[in-house]
Amino acid sequence: NAGVTQTPKFQVLKTGQSMTLQCAQDMNHEYMSWYRQDPGMGLRLIHYSVGAGITDQGEVPNGYNVSRSTTEDFPLRLLSAAPSQTSVYFCASSRSQGSSYNSPLHFGNGTRLTVT
Amino acid sequence: KNEVEQSPQNLTAQEGEFITINCSYSVGISALHWLQQHPGGGIVSLFMLSSGKKKHGRLIATINIQEKHSSLHITASHPRDSAVYICAVRESQGNLIFGKGTKLSVKP
């Protein structure tokens, strides 16, 4: 199993450009999520999904869109990149157990995004 | 006030030392996770616990629900244990809240 695959590993964008960060998992996990990691701060939730066709906003959703057309894929779209979106982005998945989603987390290797 | 506080922020140890990293939280939780982030950036799940104690190799995690506190212990530390250790709690409502991490450096 590949686990959680995140691409690209590095990306540089100019202000105003759009792009999609890809995330795929092969573990049939219901729960998938996107986080950003900034210096001096804990991981912050951008968007999450509890299953195909269902997405919801996290703590810092502005400037990002997601979709979940399949169980495996959960892409994150930057609509119009801004320097404030310079960060390291992580995708994570877990098996849901009822409504508590208390199962181990599986993370992708991260995408380091720089917006100039 | 941060809902998940880790201490210390930075920790330097000599190889072989016993290490303790602490995590305190202020919200009701259904589970607590300990994660490891290596210098290359990848994040790995070490433990998920909701009560008591878990052990995996040289790593031990404990949680005291009444005191809202968890500890991660590393016995016989090794330079390859150098990483950032992150505590995350699953709120009763379902959201994950992350601590800022503890950067551990183990010197040979």
Q: Tens digit of pLDDT for each residue in A85-111?
A: 999 999 999 887 555 556 888 999 999
Q: B20 - beta bridge partners? A: B73
Q: Is A109 on the interface with B (CB under 8 A)?
A: yes
CB contact under 8 A, B41 and A109: yes
Whether residues A100 and B41 touch (CB distance < 8 A) is answered with no
- For the CA atoms of B36, B38, B41, B45, what is the dihedral angle to 10 degrees? -20
Separation in Å, CA A76 to CA A12, A65, B39: 16, 6, 24
Is the CB of A97 inside 8 Å of chain B's CB atoms? no
Closest partner residue to A88 (CB to CB) among B41, B44, B96 is B41
Q: Do B45 and A110 touch (CB under 8 A)?
A: no
pLDDT of A69 strictly over 80: yes
pLDDT score recorded for residue A64: 97
Neighbours of B19 (CB within 10 A): 19
Convert the pLDDT of each residue in B68-101 to its tens digit.
Answer: 999 999 999 999 999 999 999 988 767 789 999 9
Q: Is A2 in CB contact (< 8 Å) with chain B?
A: no
**CA separation for the pair A106, A95 (Å, rounded):** 9
DSSP conformation letters of B54-69: EEETTEEEEEETTTTE
Determine contact: B10 vs chain A, CB below 8 A: no
